[in-house]
């Protein structure tokens, strides 16, 4: 949610930002908020004047009664009562206007950074840089589900019986490799100074709407029937929510945390679910990083955070590239975002394994997260980034370490988490 001062002082900037995101249907909201805000402030000013008059008149009643001027006192009592009714009406009007303003403001997108490329959808995202040499071996690499099944590591048929499409059983060394990657991701971030956390896996609706747009919420979140609780789609949701309505001391910033959680997503939309594979599923696990900092430190943290994900995958011998998200592919709360994509030697192309975002003070405004400074309380800047989301990350490791005989080499960094095992072989 942007600062309403932007709409009061620079409506055209807000409108231009909406146009760059190809969301012209939201343009009328800017003028609507401007007029509603003007009306709301006028109601408040009128209410303040009437309160002052009411207090002034109320102070006269006692002295008039003591002086025996009963009729005059009763007349002023009637005036005070009338002021009270008008004040109540203005307060109700102010409350209704404020509610409508907030509803509109929650839909108006955040102001993007000037460096964000303009484009309608993800086809216009821009490659930044490649890390590592993408290799295509001289033998065929099977589909990742086939690799797992030959290694007795995947059972989607049983998961279909227990849970339906979009779920899976990981078994044996494949399950162990999956867990090893998460453990390594945890330690990788702890070694870089992040504090480890395991958050709640369910959050209330006021936290959900604080961390994401309504469109994202409807497309992603599973609601617990009969309760004001949602299953998290990423631990960022509950990690940012941890600081809801808190005032943080300036010297406590930055706060850098890395969190583990299972994640649950409807995956509603054009992409659909994979019948056989593990790329797009309803349930996965994730190691996340979340940072709260001062606004002037935001971009430095942004660049450090996506680089950590690059370094993580390169330590597993997986070639990656970074992709700058264009305006039309940028979620409404985000100021700037980039994806980290891993090389798929089977498909001979890159695929997304992580996403890094800076959101300015949008989440902080929605959730009331501020820092205490000598000049007063200010909203903090929030950032989030994927260290590892798996089994998608598992696919990258399997494909880039697959051998012609069907075995899979275990990257050296993961071997301590696999009991020293160097290879997964067909039994």
pLDDT tens-digit series, residues 174-217: 999 999 999 999 999 999 999 999 999 999 999 998 888 767 77
Instruction: State the Cα–Cα distance between residues 153 and 270, nearest whole angstrom.
Output: 29
DSSP codes, 345-369:
TTTTEEEEEEEEEE-TTHHHHHHT-
Q: Averaged over 290-300, what is the pLDDT? A: 97
Q: Indicate the domain borders of the chain.
A: 4-105, 122-424
Q: Averaged over 88-113, what is the pLDDT? A: 94
Quote the pLDDT of residue 60.
79
Is the pLDDT reported for residue 221 higher than 70? yes
CATH class of 4-105: mainly alpha
Is the pLDDT reported for residue 240 higher than 60? yes
Write out pLDDT tens, residues 23-74.
Answer: 999 999 999 999 999 999 999 999 999 988 888 888 777 777 777 777 777 7
Quote the pLDDT of residue 270.
44
Q: Averaged over 70-92, what is the pLDDT? A: 86
Instruction: State the Cα–Cα distance between residues 6 and 216, nearest whole angstrom.
Output: 24
At 79, the pLDDT band (50, 70, 90 cuts) reads: confident
Quote the pLDDT of residue 81.
86
Instruction: State the Cα–Cα distance between residues 123 and 43, nearest whole angstrom.
Output: 47
Q: Give the helix, strand, coil percentages of the chain, each rounded to 5.
A: 45, 20, 30
Quote the pLDDT of residue 273.
59
Q: How many helices (H) and strands (E) does the chain have?
A: 13, 18
Q: Averaged over 301-310, what is the pLDDT? A: 98
Give the gyration radius of the chain's Cα atoms.
28
Is the pLDDT reported for residue 274 higher than 80? no
Quote the pLDDT of residue 266.
87
Instruction: State the Cα–Cα distance between residues 171 and 75, nearest whole angstrom.
Output: 85
Q: Does domain 122-424 have CATH number 3.30.930.10?
A: yes
Distance of CA 85 to the CA centre of its chain: 44
Is the pLDDT reported for residue 340 higher than 60? yes
At 332, the pLDDT band (50, 70, 90 cuts) reads: very high
Contacts 24+ apart (CB under 8 A), 138-141: 139/404, 141/345, 141/346, 141/399, 141/402
Give the range among 56-70, 160-174, 227-241, 403-417 with minimum mean pLDDT: 56-70
Is the pLDDT reported for residue 268 higher than 70? no
Instruction: Copy the structure tokens of residue 306.
Output: 């996506």
Q: Averaged over 262-267, what is the pLDDT? A: 89
The torsion angles phi and psi of 243, rounded to 5 degrees, stand at -100, 10
């Amino acid at each position: 949610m942007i600062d309403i001062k932007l709409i009061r002082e620079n409506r055209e900037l807000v409108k231009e930002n909406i146009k760059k995101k190809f969301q012209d249907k939201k343009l009328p909201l800017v003028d609507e908020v401007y007029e509603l805000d003007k009306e709301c402030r006028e109601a408040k000013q009128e209410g303040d004047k009437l309160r002052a008059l009411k207090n002034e008149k109320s102070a006269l009643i006692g002295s008039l009664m003591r002086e025996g001027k009963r009729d005059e006192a009763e007349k002023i009592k009637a005036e005070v009562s009338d002021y009270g009714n008008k004040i109540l009406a203005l307060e109700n009007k102010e409350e209704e206007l404020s509610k409508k303003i907030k509803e509109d403001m929650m839909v108006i997108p955040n102001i993007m950074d000037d460096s964000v490329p303009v484009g309608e959808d993800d086809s216009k995202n821009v490659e930044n840089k490649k890390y590592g040499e993408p290799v295509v071996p001289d033998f065929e690499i099977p589909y990742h589900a086939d690799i797992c099944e030959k290694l007795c590591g995947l059972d989607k048929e049983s998961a279909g019986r227990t849970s339906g499409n979009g779920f899976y059983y990981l078994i044996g060394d494949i399950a162990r490799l999956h867990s090893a990657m998460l453990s390594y991701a945890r330690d990788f971030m702890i070694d870089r100074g992040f504090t480890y956390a395991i958050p709640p896996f369910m959050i209330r609706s006021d936290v959900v709407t604080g961390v994401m747009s309504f469109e994202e919420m409807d497309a992603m979140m599973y609601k617990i029937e009969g309760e004001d609780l949602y299953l998290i789609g990423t631990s960022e949701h509950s990690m940012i929510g941890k600081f809801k309505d808190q005032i943080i001391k300036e010297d406590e910033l930055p706060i850098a945390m890395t969190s583990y959680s299972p994640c649950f997503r409807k995956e509603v939309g054009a992409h659909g679910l994979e019948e056989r594979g593990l790329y797009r599923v309803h349930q996965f696990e994730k190691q996340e990083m979340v940072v709260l900092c001062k606004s002037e430190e935001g971009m430095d943290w942004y660049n450090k955070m996506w680089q950590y994900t690059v370094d993580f995958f390169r330590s597993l011998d997986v070639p990656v590239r970074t992709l700058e998200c264009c305006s039309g592919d940028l979620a409404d709360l985000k100021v700037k975002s980039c994806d980290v994509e891993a090389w798929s030697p089977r498909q001979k192309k890159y695929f997304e394994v992580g996403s890094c975002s800076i959101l300015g003070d949008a989440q902080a405004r929605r959730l009331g997260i501020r820092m205490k400074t000598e000049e007063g309380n200010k909203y903090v800047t929030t950032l989030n980034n994927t260290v590892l989301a798996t089994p998608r990350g598992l696919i990258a490791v399997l494909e880039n370490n697959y051998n012609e005989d069907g075995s899979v080499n275990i990257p050296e960094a993961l071997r301590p988490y696999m009991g020293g095992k160097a290879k997964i072989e067909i039994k």
